[in-house]
């Protein structure tokens, strides 16, 4: 009868060891998943910041180009010759950009 009792003890120990191994694997998986999610979120934020920065740069470039074209059209509409007053207005409009 002692053999059976000893077998049960070994079986319990093996079951406990198996449970602990599975638990460790589960913890490792959850840590890896959490790290992966954190990395994904960080990359998404960085990507969004880069897109916003590019959008701002393009927007300011377009505004400058449009302002320049407006001033250029005003100057050429008045006359084909540029006088000092027109140059001054053109410089002022460039400073506002």
pLDDT, tens digit, for every residue of 4-50? 555 667 878 888 888 888 777 777 778 788 888 888 888 888 888 88
Confidence of residue 70 (pLDDT cuts 50, 70, 90): low
What integer pLDDT is reported at residue 76 of this predicted model?
56
pLDDT exceeds 50 at position 1: no
Please provide residue 81's backbone torsions phi and psi, each rounded to the nearest 5 degrees. -95, 145
CA–CA distance, 38 with 41 (Å, rounded to integer): 5
Q: What is the pTM of this model?
A: 0.33
Residue identified by tokens 């093996």 is 14
Mean pLDDT of the chain: 74
CA–CA distance, 20 with 26 (Å, rounded to integer): 10
Rounded to the nearest 10 degrees, how much is the dihedral formed by the CA atoms of 73, 77, 80, 82?
-70
CA–CA distance, 46 with 55 (Å, rounded to integer): 14
């Amino acid at each position: 009868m002692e053999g059976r009792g000893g077998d049960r003890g070994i079986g319990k120990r093996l079951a406990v060891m198996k449970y602990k191994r599975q638990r460790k694997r589960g913890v490792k998986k959850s840590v890896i998943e959490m790290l992966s999610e954190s990395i994904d979120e960080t990359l998404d934020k960085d990507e969004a910041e880069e897109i916003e920065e590019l959008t701002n740069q393009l927007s300011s470039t377009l505004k400058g180009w449009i302002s320049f074209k407006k001033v250029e059209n005003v100057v050429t509409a008045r006359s084909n010759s540029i006088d000092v007053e027109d140059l001054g207005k053109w410089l002022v409009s460039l400073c506002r950009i």
